[in-house]
Amino acid sequence: MKYVIRFLFISIVILVCVGYYFKNTGDHITGDKFVGMGILAASFILMPMFIYHRWKNKKVKDYMLTEENLNKMREYEKEKERRKR
């Protein structure tokens, strides 16, 4: 999955660069099409794949502000202050 995401990212960057090249040479319609396809691919293909890859096998509860996690943060801050003294 990691290599597919990298390949897609490089392909999208190349696609957008080619689009801007066409726009600079005077063919604005073709350039806009390439840039648009690159942005759409980045938004609807690359971004969901990246988010899924980064969040799979993670516990969402660890990232939520529950009472348990708030207590852990408070204890950590207290311990941090004790070490400074």
The mean pLDDT of the chain is: 92
Question: Residue 60: what pLDDT?
Answer: 81
For residue 25, pLDDT over 90 is answered with: yes
Collapse the DSSP code of 73 into the 3-class scheme (helix H, G, I; strand E, B; otherwise coil) and give the result.
helix
Average pLDDT over residues 30-37: 96
For residue 5, pLDDT over 80 is answered with: yes
- What is the pTM assigned to this prediction? 0.71
